[in-house]
């Protein structure tokens, strides 16, 4: 299936809130339930969007997609809204924050290294909900969290997706937390995953001055979010 990117956000009244972006990561799925999708990168050259690199087969949440909290407006008739622990990846338009990993990486894009003691908090009762904290410098009020570094290589390289105001004020309790792009070979609790080489290629491609965005949704949603037509 071939799409032409017209880049029209008017259906969801987004233009007033959209940053000027010249890099897109577009993830498309066949339906709301599938954990499988295709990722395609785009660069804006002049006034035209051009594909960058080959399509990448990715995996999402084990239960597919649900509308998340980002730059878009969630439709009033939205069939599925993402919630904490639902095993769904967020659909919508999201800013990307910094990349991260276990060891330093020489790239131009903002990048942080994390330790075993760095936690991403998914406890809805915590004041640190949807925040990454250094547990050695924090008085923990949480019992549920993710280690940002652990023996497996899942977080060896990754990107923070700004879903539900991660690391910011305003995170909505129970709307989903700790959403990343990272390395894995099976569906996830809500992240977008691929292999290590693909993850490093994307991180190396990102340009902070381009205000890169992640756009995720079904084929039908993409027609509305991005004005994609056959």
Give pLDDT, residue 159.
98
Give pLDDT, residue 47.
83
Under 8 Å between Cβ of 119 and 133: yes
Give pLDDT, residue 11.
29
Give pLDDT, residue 48.
86
Give pLDDT, residue 70.
96
Per domain, the residue ranges of the chain are 10-225
Give pLDDT, residue 226.
67
**Residues lower than pLDDT 50 in the chain:** 1-18, 228-230
Instruction: Report in angstroms the alpha-carbon separations of 21 from 7, 78, 143, 210, 213.
Output: 11, 26, 38, 5, 7
Instruction: Report in angstroms the alpha-carbon separations of 101 from 133, 157, 193, 221.
Output: 15, 4, 14, 32
């Amino acid at each position: 299936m071939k799409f032409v990117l017209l880049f029209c956000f008017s259906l969801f009244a987004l233009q007033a809130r959209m940053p000027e972006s010249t890099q897109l990561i577009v993830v498309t799925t066949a339906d709301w339930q599938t954990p499988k999708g295709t990722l395609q990168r785009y660069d804006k050259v002049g006034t035209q969007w051009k594909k960058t690199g080959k399509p990448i087969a990715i995996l999402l949440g084990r239960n597919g997609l649900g509308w998340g909290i980002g730059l878009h407006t969630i439709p009033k008739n939205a069939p599925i809204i993402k919630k904490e622990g639902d095993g769904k990846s967020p659909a919508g338009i999201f800013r990307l924050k910094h990349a991260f990993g276990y060891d330093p990486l020489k790239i131009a894009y903002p990048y942080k290294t994390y330790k075993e003691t760095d936690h991403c908090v998914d406890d809805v009762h915590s004041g640190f909900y949807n925040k990454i904290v250094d547990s050695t410098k924090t008085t923990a009020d949480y019992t549920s969290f993710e280690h940002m570094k652990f023996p497996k290589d899942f977080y060896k390289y990754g990107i923070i997706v700004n879903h539900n105001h991660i690391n910011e004020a305003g995170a909505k309790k129970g709307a989903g937390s700790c959403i990343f792009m990272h390395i894995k070979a099976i569906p996830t609790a809500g992240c977008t995953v691929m292999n290590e080489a693909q993850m490093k290629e994307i991180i190396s491609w990102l340009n902070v001055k381009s205000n890169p965005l992640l756009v995720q949704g079904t084929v039908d949603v993409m027609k509305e979010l991005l004005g994609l037509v056959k």
